Amino acid sequence: MVVNDAVQLTITVTLHILSYVFYAINVSFCCFFILIAVFTTRNTPLNLAGMALERYIAICNPLRHSQICTVRRTYSLIALIWVLGAAPDITDLFITLATESMAFFHSSVLCLRQNIFKDPRLTYKRQTFDGLYFAFVFLTLIYTYLCILFTAKAMSTERTSAKRARNTILLHGVQLLMCLLSYVSPSVELVILIIFPGHNREIRYATYLIVYILPRFLSPIIYGVRDEKFRKQLSRYFRCGRCRVVPGRESHVDGIPARSRFTAQPLHT
């Protein structure tokens, strides 16, 4: 998921910079980057479903977890996610190649998805696939959450692990809702453009920050803070930062020098 989001952000940031510097770029070049950006955007909810299933197996079938969730099967699942994410838009490319002339691919346009895949039927197909994918992920999260919830109530031990898994599924649900922003943003952006005409670039930039940057900016922070060891070390650094003293100005309290009292202990891994 981290690699997927890193690729997505790199591609979309590059496209935004190019659109502001050159405005119009080559259609073939734009098409390549648009497809990768769309693949990685659609992969995010599928990754969430895979992570939720792993937590479900770990809590509800702990004895078979090591047998089911092997490294080889993990790689197979990642490959399947990329195939499912890429398949709908590969067909868009084939349809565009069949309906557009070669002169179109040598021309220059503002690099937006609707400027490349212009057939109106592709819009309905994209909405259908997006709805199916999100329905699948949503039902997967609901099912795994309920199973973990019922298992946690029946378990006399490992309640802490079950609680953490349940909270992880809830976090996936929040991430899924944030992912939905990327699918409603075109309609919202159109309405905003009607209300504030002549501010295309400003609206596109604000939409990009809220819809694409913010969700992927919050995810690593949330996961990092939830990790007990990371949170402990982070709080230690914050405390030590507040307790720093100016060199050469030591005070004594109860016979203990201030510098020795506030010096952080070495970190052990």
Integer-rounded Cα Rg, in Å, for the chain is: 25
pTM of this structure: 0.70
Residues 6+ apart with CB under 8 A from 45: 133, 134, 137, 176, 179
Tens digit of each residue's pLDDT (9 = 90 or more) over 68-108: 888 898 899 999 988 988 888 888 888 888 888 888 888 88
Alpha helices in 22-70 (DSSP H): 27-60, 65-68
Tens digit of each residue's pLDDT (9 = 90 or more) over 179-200: 767 666 766 777 787 887 777 7
Task: With beta carbons less than 8 A apart as the criterion, state whether 163 and 188 touch.
Answer: no
Task: Please give the DSSP secondary-structure letter assigned to residue 265.
Answer: P
Residues 6+ apart with CB under 8 A from 16: 205, 208
Domain ranges across the chain:
2-226
Alpha helices in the chain (DSSP H): 2-21, 27-60, 65-68, 71-99, 102-105, 113-116, 120-154, 159-195, 200-208, 214-226, 228-242, 258-262
Give the residue among 111, 124, 129, 114 at the shortest CA–CA distance from 32.
111
- What pLDDT score was predicted for residue 241? 60
- Domain 2-226, what architecture? Up-down Bundle (1.20)
Of 78-92, 101-115, 155-169, 212-226, the poorest mean pLDDT is in: 155-169
